[in-house]
Amino acid sequence: MASASSLQLPIIKVKSALSVATHDVLAIEEPLEIRLEHGPVDERKVQNISVTMRTPGNDAELALGFLFTEGIITNVKAIANIDHCFIACAENKENVIQVSLHPDSVPCLKNTERNFYTTSSCGVCGKGSINAIRTVGQFNDNQLDDSFIYSDILYSLPDILRKHQDVFTDTGGLHASALFSNTGEMLLVREDVGRHNALDKLIGAAINKGMVPLSNSVLMLSGRASFELVQKAAMAGINIIAAVGAPSTLAVQLAQEFNITLVGFLRDERFNIYTAPHRILFTQ
């Protein structure tokens, strides 16, 4: 069934020499501009922070998660309000969201000088160095190291995630990120056409629920594990990442640097452990 995140369009379906007019449900992809209002009461300024191609829905969580994982804000208490910018042009009002900080909250804007633009496939490209992530992360040096998960629980996570991918079921075109407990209970799940957006939405939702740092949760990714996803997980204090697809070399390097357990190719009761294997326990 089509939703605010998908749209039904007419198509011609071809198989061998036969063609038929029918309909298909596609994931919606639209730009979202994130604006930040900050400064003292008498010197307020509005700054464009990012434009990202996303699937509409959970935009406030996306904006919050993005600002947090980029180190622009460190606490949800800094935020006075998040809402779509209805003063924009009528046709764009749902594609502009403004985050207003309290007058005494000072954002860290040094990284915004590189003019953020993220696409649905790229994420936070061109991060200067792993050391840059360490300087802005709150939980990198104080992560709890008592998290673990049994292999048989790990095997079950992809199927559980797939059952909760509502828009993917309709369209086949969305990524998903989910948080699980170490007993296999799904805690949160978010979908988006961009894998980094799905994770920002997830982390934004977790921040709203007071769950961060996420040191005792397992992050499950529906696709590959790229550098920017491991970076965002590190910012949220996540210790275990499991992905259906492959990791990149830089993702492995970053996971190793921050003592994150990184699992890839998790499907069909098999997986590879790339870093910090001590958190994966095997039943006798």
Least confident piece of the model among 56-65, 123-132, 220-229, 269-278: 123-132
Tens digit of each residue's pLDDT (9 = 90 or more) over 219-250? 999 999 999 999 999 999 999 999 999 999 99
| Domain assignment present for 270 | yes
Residue 187: the pLDDT is 97
Q: Are residues 37 and 92 part of one domain?
A: yes
pLDDT tens sequence across 1-31? 445 788 899 988 999 989 999 998 888 899 9
Distance CA 101, CA 78 (A): 6
Bridge partners for 218 per DSSP? 180, 240
Q: Are 125 and 154 part of one and the same domain?
A: no
pLDDT at position 122 over 70 = no
| CA pair distance 262, 264, nearest whole angstrom | 7
Q: Is residue 144 part of a domain?
A: no
Check whether residue 114 and residue 168 sit in a common domain: no
Burial of 267 (0-12, 13-18, 19+ CB in 10 A): middle
Asked if residue 234 belongs to a domain, the reply is yes
pLDDT of residue 194: 92
Q: Which of 85, 89, 122, 125 is catalytic?
A: 122
Q: Are residues 174 and 125 in the same domain?
A: no
Cis peptide before 31 (omega within 30 of 0): no
> In 3D, which of 278, 283, 272 has the Cα closest to residue 260?
278
Domain annotation covers residue 45: yes
**pTM to 2 decimals?**
0.89
Q: How many CA atoms lie within 13 A of 140 on its CB side?
A: 21
Mean pLDDT of 249-270: 95
- CATH number of the domain encompassing residue 106: 3.10.20.10
Are residues 189 and 258 located together in one domain of the fold?
yes
| Band of residue 85 on the pLDDT scale cut at 50, 70, 90 | confident
Residue 116 — pLDDT band, cuts 50, 70, 90?
low
- Does residue 5 sit within a domain? no
122 counts as catalytic: yes
Residue 19: what pLDDT? Answer: 95
Cα dihedral value 118, 123, 125, 130, nearest 10? 140
Strand segments, DSSP code E, in the chain are 6-15, 18-27, 30-38, 45-54, 79-84, 96-101, 149-150, 175-180, 186-192, 218-221, 240-243, 261-267, 270-275, 280-281
Within-domain flag for 24: no
Q: How confident is the model at residue 136 (pLDDT cuts 50, 70, 90)?
A: low
Residues 159 and 233 in one domain: yes
pLDDT, averaged across the chain: 87
Residues 158 and 274 in one domain: yes
Q: Note whether 104 and 157 are same-domain residues.
A: no
Q: Residue 252 domain-assigned?
A: yes
pLDDT of residue 110: 76
pLDDT grade for 264, boundaries at 50, 70 and 90: very high
CATH number at residue 250: 3.40.140.10
For residues 154-167, average pLDDT: 90
Residue 121: per-residue pLDDT: 46
pLDDT of residue 284: 52
- Total tally of structural domains belonging to the chain: 2
Angle at the Cα of 254 (from 177 to 75), degrees rounded to 5? 60
- Best mean pLDDT range from 82-96, 170-184, 230-244: 230-244
Same domain, 113 and 180: no
Domain that holds residue 117: 30-129
